[in-house]
Structure 1
Amino acid sequence: MAKRRSTLGAVIRELRNSNNWTLREMSERTGIPVSTLSKVEHNRLTLTYDKLQELSARLNIRMSDLFAESDAPPPVASVTARRSLGTRDNAFRVQTANYDYYYLCAELRRKRMIPNITTIRARSLDEFGELVHHAGEEFIYVLKGQIVVHTEFYDPVTLEPGESIYIDSNMGHAYLAGPDCEEAVTLAVMSSADDDLMDSLITMHGER
C-alpha cells in the first residue's frame, strides 16, 4: 500500500493534539505566534528552514519527523454526545475597545460553532479602526438597539431588533452601534473548519 504523505500542517496538528495542547500552549512552547501556527496547520502558510530547526529543537523532536510519511488510513470521525448549557452569567467574557463579547458554552473545546452575545459600542469607523478578517462564516441577530454593518465589498446596511445577517468572515467587516442608540446587543454564531476558532478569535481581540 502506498504511503500517504502528510503535510507539515497535519504533522504539527497531530503533534499538538497528541499532547492535548491548545494553539496558545503550543505557541508558548515554540515561540511561534498563534496566528502563524493556525495558518500552518491549515496549509495556508509554511515555515522557513530556520523556523523548522527552532521548532524541532524546542519540541525535542527530529526535524525529519516534521516531514513524516504515514501509511495509516485517514481517521474516522467518532460519534460524540456533548452538550453544554450557556448563560451570560457563566459565559467567558472578552472586553475590547469596540465590543464586550460573552462567549457561551466555553467549556466545550474544539467547537465548530462559536456562539456569543456581543455588546457593540463603537459608533463610527474612525472609532472602530480597521475592518476585521478571520476564518469561517458568521451569523448576527440583533437583540437590542440598532447596528450598522460595514463589509469590504458591500454598502453599509442597518439592522433593527429581529433582523439578521450572514457573512463570510474572511471578508473585512465591522459592526457599529446605530446612530439612534448608545450601544446595541447581538447574538452571534461564528463557524469554521478551524478546530481552534475560539483561540484564534480571542487572540485576534487581544492583538486589537
Structure 2
Amino acid sequence: MERGRIGARIKMWRERKNLTVEQLAAKTALDPGFIRSMEDDGASPALGPLVKLARALGTRLGTFTDDELSDDPCITRATERTPDRAVQASGGKCLAMTYHHLGRGKADRHMEPFFIRLEPEACEPALSSHEGEEFIVVVSGQVVLRYGQEVHTLAAGDSMYYNSVVPHHVGAGGGQAAEIYAVIHVPF
C-alpha cells in the first residue's frame, strides 16, 4: 500500500466522526503527535495502534489497509504476495517487522490474517494492548512472546493464542529473523 494512504484514510474516518486528533488520541490512548504523524507525514504504524484506531472509529482494520475488494474465496498465493509495509519500532529507531496482509480485499471478514517476518530487535520492545484475540503459528526461527509479566519462547511449529487486551509483544528471538502466521480478531 502506498505510503501515506493509511494516514489519509484514518484522517477521513476521524473527520467523518467529527473527532479532533486529541479526542481520537483520548479514545485510543495513543499520543496525538503520533496520530498527526500518521495523518500528515505517512508514518507507518504497527498493527496494535491500527487496531486501536479502527476500534475507536467503529470500523474494521481492513478499512485502512485494503485497496480493492475481491470475490470469495480470497486466495493469496505465497509466490505472489508482496510486503504491505515494514514497520519501525520504538519511535522509528529499528525495524521490527515486515508484514503481508493475507485477507486484503475480503469485504465481510471478521479476522485479519497476516504473514509476518520479525526482524531481530536492536532496541527494547514496547508492549501494546488492544481489544480482541490473536492466534500465531511460528513458521521459522525463534519467537519471544512477552505477555504481561510472562516471557515465552516458541520454535517453528509452535503456536500461541491469547487475549490481546493483556499488554504483549511478539518479536524474534535468538538474534535471528523469524516468520509467523498471525490471525487477529477484533470485535467491533
Q: Secondary structure at the match of 1:193?
A: coil
Identity %: 23
Aligned twin of 1:189 = 183
Residue in 2 that maps onto 1:175: 170
**Which structure has more strand as a fraction of its residues?**
2
**Count of residue pairs brought into register by the alignment:** 131
Task: Identify, as 1 or 2, the structure richer in helix.
Answer: 1
RMSD (Å) for aligned C-alpha atoms: 2.7
Larger radius of gyration: 1
1:108 to 94, 102, 106: 106
* Superimposed CA distance per residue, residues 108-141 of structure 1 (whole angstroms, 9 cap, x where no aligned partner): 13521111001111436xx143202122100110
Q: C-alpha separation between the residues in 1 aligned to 2:180 and 2:148?
A: 20
Output the CA distance in 2 between the equivalents of 1:111 and 1:175.
24
TM-score by length of 2: 0.59
Q: Distance in 1 between matches of 2:10 and 2:187?
A: 15
Residue of structure 2 in register with 1:18 after alignment: none
Structure 2, gaps ≥5 residues long: 1-8, 28-52, 60-70, 89-95
Deviation per CA, 1:149-196, whole angstroms, max 9, x where unpaired?
Answer: 111142x111110101101111111112121x52000010111213xx
Instruction: Report the secondary structure of 2:84's partner residue.
Output: strand
CA distance in 2, matches of 1:168, 1:150: 13
**Separation of aligned partners in 2, 1:115 and 1:178:** 22
Q: Residue 86 of structure 2 aligns with which residue?
A: 95
Tell me how far 1:91 sits from its aligned partner. 5.1
Change over 3 Å in CA distance of 1:40–1:188 after alignment to 2: closer
Amino acid at match of 1:162: G
